[in-house]
Structure formats: C-alpha cells, structure tokens
A and B are shown apart, each in its own frame.
Chain A
C-alpha cells in the first residue's frame, strides 16, 4: 500500500499526527484525534528526524553519529516501513 522505503526516500510525519516529548512519561508520544501512542526511545529518535527533507540514508547516518554505533540501516528501514504501514509517515520516494 505504501511506497517502499529506500535510502533516498524522504519520510515525513503524516499531518494527522503530532510528535512531542512528554516529560511526565519520559517518552516521545504520537498524538492524534483522541488518541496517543507512547514511543520507545529508538522509535522517538527516528521519528523526530523524519522532517520530509532528510533522506533515510541521512537519518541513519545521523542516528549512528548521535549514538556512536554503526549498522543501523536495516533496523531504521524496518521501523520506517512499519510506521508507513501504520500511516504515521508519508514517504516521498
């Protein structure tokens, strides 16, 4: 249904969702009409970088830099695929 996630795709949060940090929950949450999804740390870190400008490759590189790790590409792509499936994201190929 949604476009495949490629290294040069530019994911953006769907306009129906709002992402914000909630100190009381120590988590990023996705807010939508009358609902909320509490995100784990990695989901929050990935989604907050999905601004419609950065490519998947750039998002991955930025995460690897921020957390001092390598080899995140497969995990990031899998998460973005799931998020697009759930319509949290729109993906511009």
Chain B
C-alpha cells in the first residue's frame, strides 16, 4: 500500500488496513505458518455480532482494506455474513484462504455478499510436495478451487510461500500458475515468525537457491510480459536494510485475533511489555488512538542507536520489532537485518548455516493443535 510516512509528531492517521484473523482452526498444518505456536491457548472466538461491531467501528475510523484470514477463514460458517456487512460498509474485502471448504455454493454466496478478492495459497507445484508441506491431501482440491475462482470472475491471485524445500521449484510453480490462469502470483519467501521461526533451520534457503529462484522469475516475466504480474518477495535475511515492517507499528495496520485481541501486527503478540487490548472491552477508536500497545512503537521516540540518529529511520522505521525481539531479546533494538545493527552477525550466521547445508536431521514441526499444546507447556 502506498503510504507516505507522516512527519514525526504529526497525529496518527487511520488504521487503513484491518486484518481479521477469524479463527485459528485450520485444516492445513503448514510448517511455515506465522500463527503463534501457542495458538491453542487462544480464548474463545468472537461471535458474529462482535465481528460486525469491529467492522463498523474500524470503518468509521477510515479502515478500507479488509483481510479475512486465520487459520482458515472458511471454517467460520458466518463468513458470508461478515463479508456482506463489510461490503455494505464500503470495505474492499480480501479472502486469504487455503481453498479448503470453498465449494461452489459458498463461492456463489460470497460473490453475492460482495467479496472482492480471493487469494489462494499453494504450497508447491506438485501434489507430493504440496501435500507434504501442508501435511494434508489438498493439491487437487486447490486446483478445483482455482477453476471456481476463474469461473466466478475473480482476479486470480496465487500465493506460494517459498523456503528451502520448495524454492528450487519456482519454474514449475510459475508454470502451474500460468496453467491455472493466475493474474497475480506472489512468491513470498518465508518470514520467520511463529511456526516458521520454530522450523527456521530447516526452511532457510541458501544464497544460491535464492539467486536461482530470482533468475527463474526474471526469465518467466520476460516470457509472459504483462499478462501476469509476478511478485518475488526477497527473504529479508539476505538484505542489508530491513523491511519497513507495517510502515511502523500503529501506523496503518490493525489485526484482531480470533479471541478479540487487537495487535499492531499479526505477529506482535510475542512482544513483551505490551498490554494488548481486546475488542470485547474497548472500542476500536480507543484501541487505535489510546492503547499502550498501539502507541508505544508509534513514531520514533522508542528508538535506540543506531536507529535513533539514522537518516533512514523514517524509511524503514527500524525494521521489524518482532524480528528484533526474536533475534536480540529486545524489541527496541534495530532489526538485525540492518548491517548497521550490532547484531547483524546473527542474521549472516543463519544464512551461512543455510549455505553450508541445513540440519537435515532436525525434525520439521507441523502446525497442529497437538504440537501447539506441546510447545505451550
């Protein structure tokens, strides 16, 4: 989203982007999921009326892009009701789905409710790897869902999360996307949070793998021209400057988790010292403008060196607070992706281990309620 950073001290703008994680229930068990590993501890899901109230309150503040995610949002039988209200309020509605549960009656009902867009995830280009990486038998189902998406005249957006185990298949993945009639393809390298963080040593690609995948993407773009738009999101561990994560916390982005907890980023629940408000108890307006969780990292007052005096601090906002916390133990440190960070060696060391060959014997941990219970104890 093109957003001009505000001058320091200027009043905060509205939460333009609202992401509702409607449920953590999911038929897939992806090893790279960014959901919290302790998701089984999450409280009861909000009911329909509570979600509708969140939509109304956020829209009143100026929220306009709506992501409906999870878990698998189709696990909620009231998804159509939520979409219909969002559409009535003027949101642009994006469904972010594995496709499981999207049969013809449901896509017809979602279309009638005003759903604008469906982003369908694939785990790989072959049934074997797709099904292994998600620990399900869903490859053919996804191909059927892709056909339904075309049939119902949606822009076709495929999302494939890349990592060490599938990044060498980029050429095949793009060929599959072309066969399915995709208009946009997001090749999103794994961001290491949640389950992906837990599995990082198995999922981190080598530099060679990333370079080959980028080259394959370039060749594909040259061949298809403007007919398909292919986004290749470079894994940030391979960069020397951090991503402008969320345009800075509390700047444009608001997530509500299944139990109503409001977060300034979908991974932020891990950050210590933040008191996350719940939409059951507070209005979206109070949450956005007043709560400590949303004001603490807003602006640049929280920054330490080297960010505090860095000329680029209003371009990347110090990078990602969650990554700073995961890698250095202090969320106010510079994101170690930045080569000005005194902790940058932690990132280069992780990449060096990947270049040398990952620890193949370390078991992959699949996202499941049983594993979540194990990792929560």
A residues contacting B by CB (< 8 A) are 1, 16, 18, 20, 22-25, 29, 31-38, 87
Q: Give the distance to chain A from B9, nearest Cβ to Cβ, in Å.
A: 20
Contact (Cβ within 8 A) A36 B1: yes
Closest to B63 in A: A24
Beyond A34-B119, A87-B226, is A20–B1 a contact (Cβ under 8 Å)? Answer: no
Contacts beyond the supplied A18-B92, A29-B64, A32-B155: 5 A-B pairs with Cβ under 8 Å:
A22-B62, A24-B62, A31-B64, A34-B117, A37-B2
Q: A33-B117, A33-B157, A36-B1 are in contact. Are A20 and B61 (CB under 8 A)?
A: no
Known: A33-B157, A36-B92. Is A24-B65 also a contact (CB below 8 A)? no
List the A residue with the shortest CB-CB distance to B65.
A36
Contact A16 B183 (CB under 8 A): yes
Q: Within the complex, what minimum Cβ distance (angstroms) separates B220 from chain A?
A: 18
Q: Which residues of chain B come closer than 8 Å to A87, judged between CB atoms? A: 226
In the complex, whether B8 has a CB less than 8 A from a CB of chain A is: no
Q: Which residues of A have CB within 8 Å of B64? A: 22, 24, 29, 31, 36
B61: chain A residues within 8 A (beta carbon): 24
Using an 8 Å CB-CB cutoff, how does the interface string of B176-202 with A read, 1 for contact, 0 for none?
A: 000000011000000000000000000
B277: Cβ under 8 A from any A Cβ: no
A36 touches B2 (CB 8 A): yes
Among B58-88, those with CB < 8 Å from A are: 61-62, 64-65, 67
User: With an 8 A cutoff between CB atoms, is B90 at the interface?
Assistant: yes
What would 28 A/B residue contacts be, using CB atoms closer than 8 Å?
Answer: A16-B155, A22-B62, A23-B62, A24-B14, A24-B62, A24-B64, A25-B13, A25-B14, A25-B16, A29-B64, A31-B64, A31-B92, A31-B116, A32-B92, A33-B116, A33-B157, A34-B94, A34-B117, A34-B119, A34-B157, A35-B1, A36-B1, A36-B2, A36-B16, A36-B64, A36-B65, A36-B92, A87-B226
Alpha-carbon separation in the docked complex, A16 to B65 (Å): 15
Cα–Cα, bound, A87→B116 (Å): 18
- Complex Cα distance, B193 from A90, in Å, reads 41
How large, as a class, is the contact surface on chain B? 20 to 34
Instruction: Compute how far the CA of A34 lies from the CA of B1 in the bound complex, rounded to whole angstroms.
Output: 8
- Greatest chain B CB density within 10 A among A20, A23, A29, A36 is at A36
**Complex CA–CA separation, A25 to B2 (angstroms):** 13
Which residues does chain A contribute within 8 Å of B62, judged by CB atoms?
22-25
**Closest residue on chain B to residue A29 by CB atoms:** B64
Chain A min CB distance to B306 (Å): 32
Min CB distance A1 to B, Å, is 6
Given A31-B64, A34-B119; A1-B183 close (CB under 8 Å)? no
Task: For B157, list chain A residues within 8 Å (CB).
Answer: 33-34
Please measure, in the bound complex, the distance between the C-alpha atom of A1 and the C-alpha atom of B227, giving whole angstroms. Answer: 11
| Complex-state Cα separation, A72 to B61, whole angstroms | 36
Chain B hits for A38, CB < 8 A: 2
Shortest CB distance B327–A (Å): 27
Q: List residues of B (87-101) whose CB comes within 8 Å of A's CBs.
A: 90, 92, 94
Q: Measured between alpha carbons, how far is A29 from B91 in the docked complex, in Å? A: 12
Q: Which of chain B's residues have a CB closer than 8 A to the CB of A31?
A: 64-65, 92, 116
A35 to B16, CA, bound (A): 10
Interface centre among B14, B65, B157, B226 (most CB of A within 10 A): B65
Partner of B65, one of A1, A23, A25, A35: A35
A51 to B62, CA, bound (A): 26
In whole angstroms, what is the CA distance A83 to B226 when docked?
Answer: 15
Instruction: Output the least CB separation between A55 and chain B (Å).
Output: 25
**Nearest Cβ distance between residue B155 and chain A, in whole angstroms?**
5
Please tell me if the beta carbons of A18 and B116 are within 8 angstroms of each other in the complex: yes
Contact A34 B2 (CB under 8 A): no
Q: How far is the CA of A34 from the CA of B95 in the complex (A)?
A: 10
**Choice from A16, A24, A33, A37 contacting B94 with Cβ under 8 Å:** A33
Q: Mark B149-182, 1 if CB is under 8 A from A, else 0.
A: 0000001010000000000000000000000000
